[in-house]
Amino acid sequence: MNQTQNRQIADLVQSAKEQFGDFSDAKKQEIFLCIKEAKARGLLRKQPRDLCLSEYINTANYLLRTYSTEEFSRALTQNLDCIYVYVALVSTNSITVTA
Protein backbone atom coordinates (compact mmCIF):
# COMPACT_ATOMS: atom_id res chain seq x y z
CA MET A 1 0.00 0.00 0.00
CA ASN A 2 1.17 3.51 -0.67
CA GLN A 3 1.20 6.39 1.78
CA THR A 4 -2.09 7.89 0.50
CA GLN A 5 -3.86 4.54 0.90
CA ASN A 6 -2.46 4.15 4.41
CA ARG A 7 -3.68 7.63 5.36
CA GLN A 8 -7.18 7.02 3.95
CA ILE A 9 -7.50 3.74 5.83
CA ALA A 10 -6.09 5.22 9.04
CA ASP A 11 -8.62 8.07 8.84
CA LEU A 12 -11.46 5.63 8.16
CA VAL A 13 -10.47 3.38 11.06
CA GLN A 14 -10.08 6.34 13.43
CA SER A 15 -13.49 7.69 12.47
CA ALA A 16 -15.07 4.26 13.00
CA LYS A 17 -13.38 3.87 16.39
CA GLU A 18 -14.79 7.22 17.46
CA GLN A 19 -18.26 6.15 16.36
CA PHE A 20 -18.30 2.48 17.43
CA GLY A 21 -15.51 2.04 19.98
CA ASP A 22 -12.45 -0.17 19.54
CA PHE A 23 -11.87 -3.86 18.94
CA SER A 24 -9.28 -5.96 20.64
CA ASP A 25 -6.18 -6.92 18.70
CA ALA A 26 -7.39 -10.52 18.81
CA LYS A 27 -10.61 -9.55 16.99
CA LYS A 28 -8.67 -7.62 14.32
CA GLN A 29 -6.33 -10.57 13.85
CA GLU A 30 -9.27 -12.99 13.61
CA ILE A 31 -10.87 -10.93 10.84
CA PHE A 32 -7.60 -10.58 8.93
CA LEU A 33 -6.81 -14.30 9.12
CA CYS A 34 -10.35 -15.20 8.07
CA ILE A 35 -10.18 -12.94 5.00
CA LYS A 36 -6.66 -14.10 4.13
CA GLU A 37 -7.74 -17.77 4.31
CA ALA A 38 -10.92 -17.06 2.33
CA LYS A 39 -8.82 -15.48 -0.41
CA ALA A 40 -6.46 -18.47 -0.47
CA ARG A 41 -9.45 -20.82 -0.79
CA GLY A 42 -11.11 -18.76 -3.52
CA LEU A 43 -14.12 -17.82 -1.37
CA LEU A 44 -13.92 -14.08 -2.02
CA ARG A 45 -16.25 -13.36 -4.90
CA LYS A 46 -18.92 -10.83 -5.76
CA GLN A 47 -21.62 -13.28 -4.72
CA PRO A 48 -24.78 -12.91 -2.63
CA ARG A 49 -24.85 -13.90 1.04
CA ASP A 50 -24.20 -17.60 1.60
CA LEU A 51 -25.38 -19.21 4.86
CA CYS A 52 -22.45 -21.63 4.72
CA LEU A 53 -19.85 -18.85 4.89
CA SER A 54 -18.79 -16.87 7.95
CA GLU A 55 -20.16 -13.41 8.60
CA TYR A 56 -16.76 -11.89 7.77
CA ILE A 57 -16.60 -13.62 4.37
CA ASN A 58 -20.18 -12.60 3.59
CA THR A 59 -19.29 -9.03 4.55
CA ALA A 60 -16.19 -9.17 2.35
CA ASN A 61 -18.19 -10.47 -0.61
CA TYR A 62 -20.79 -7.76 -0.06
CA LEU A 63 -18.07 -5.10 -0.05
CA LEU A 64 -16.55 -6.55 -3.21
CA ARG A 65 -19.98 -6.62 -4.87
CA THR A 66 -20.85 -3.03 -3.95
CA TYR A 67 -17.40 -1.46 -4.33
CA SER A 68 -17.46 2.02 -5.91
CA THR A 69 -21.15 2.55 -5.10
CA GLU A 70 -22.99 4.58 -2.51
CA GLU A 71 -24.07 1.32 -0.91
CA PHE A 72 -20.39 0.48 -0.29
CA SER A 73 -19.79 3.85 1.38
CA ARG A 74 -22.86 3.36 3.59
CA ALA A 75 -21.68 -0.11 4.61
CA LEU A 76 -18.43 1.35 5.92
CA THR A 77 -20.39 3.52 8.34
CA GLN A 78 -22.55 0.69 9.74
CA ASN A 79 -20.14 -1.09 12.08
CA LEU A 80 -16.50 -1.65 12.91
CA ASP A 81 -16.56 -5.20 11.47
CA CYS A 82 -17.06 -3.74 7.99
CA ILE A 83 -14.12 -1.40 8.47
CA TYR A 84 -11.77 -4.18 9.52
CA VAL A 85 -13.00 -6.49 6.76
CA TYR A 86 -12.31 -3.64 4.31
CA VAL A 87 -8.81 -3.15 5.75
CA ALA A 88 -8.20 -6.91 5.41
CA LEU A 89 -9.39 -6.82 1.79
CA VAL A 90 -7.00 -3.97 1.03
CA SER A 91 -4.08 -5.61 2.82
CA THR A 92 -4.60 -8.89 0.93
CA ASN A 93 -4.83 -6.98 -2.37
CA SER A 94 -8.41 -8.13 -2.85
CA ILE A 95 -9.62 -4.57 -3.27
CA THR A 96 -7.79 -1.46 -4.44
CA VAL A 97 -7.92 1.92 -2.73
CA THR A 98 -7.99 4.87 -5.09
CA ALA A 99 -6.62 8.27 -4.21
pLDDT of residue 96: 75
pLDDT in tens, 30-73: 999 999 999 999 999 998 999 999 999 999 999 999 988 889 88
pLDDT of residue 50: 94
Average predicted confidence (pLDDT) for the chain: 84
Dihedral sign for Cα atoms in the order 44, 47, 50, 54: positive
pLDDT of residue 10: 72
Dihedral sign for Cα atoms in the order 78, 84, 90, 92: negative
Report the alpha-carbon distance of residue 25 to residue 70 in Å, rounded. 29
pLDDT of residue 33: 94
pLDDT of residue 36: 94
Report the alpha-carbon distance of residue 46 to residue 65 in Å, rounded. 4
User: What predicted TM-score, i.e. pTM, was given to this entire model?
Assistant: 0.79
Dihedral sign for Cα atoms in the order 90, 93, 96, 97: positive
- Average of pLDDT values for 67-95? 87
